[in-house]
Amino acid sequence: MSESVQIYFNEFVIQMIGGLQAENFEVPTENLLWHELFYGLHKDQGRRDKPEFISGLQFYEGNKSQDLSEALQSYALVFGVDVINRRFFPNKEYAQHCLDKQSRFSPEIRDYLSYAVKKAKEHLRPGDGK
């Protein structure tokens, strides 16, 4: 059995986007939606397996996180954005790479990542742009 791979916040965000794209979910680029989602994950007391990098996120102006802004900007720079439709360009190859890599994460991280992707699908529905 191989050792679990350590995961950090930026990687977690990328894994979420990859997981959403693997499920053919149109991933919006609207920052406010992402900030609201992560603020909710940060405040959620119902999960004992919440990673420290979620618990430790710092927010300003209520629900905005500089770390999240930087992670989303990095993803957009690497993979591109459909400006007209306000979505990240789908990248099925990278989505599959994300899924393959997740098998090396600890069971706790995989479970929380699955939970976060489920919450993202509820919160980031197409047409909910603000």
Please list, in sequence order, all residues whose beta carbon lies within 8 angstroms of the beta carbon of residue 3, skipping any fewer than 6 positions away.
Answer: none
Query: Average pLDDT, stretch 84-111?
Result: 82
CA dihedral sign, ordered 110, 115, 118, 124: negative
CA 118, 103, 66 angle in degrees (round to 5)? 55
pLDDT band at 126 (very low <50, low <70, confident <90, very high): low
Q: pTM, whole model, 2 decimals?
A: 0.84
What would the pLDDT profile of 27-73 be if each residue is shown by its tens digit?
888 888 999 999 999 999 888 889 999 999 999 888 899 999 888 88
As a whole number of angstroms, the distance between CA 6 and CA 104 comes to: 9
As a whole number of angstroms, the distance between CA 10 and CA 16 comes to: 10
As a whole number of angstroms, the distance between CA 72 and CA 90 comes to: 14
Please list, in sequence order, all residues whose beta carbon lies within 8 angstroms of the beta carbon of residue 110, skipping any fewer than 6 positions away.
Answer: 102, 103
What is the residue whose two structure tokens read 């007391």? 45
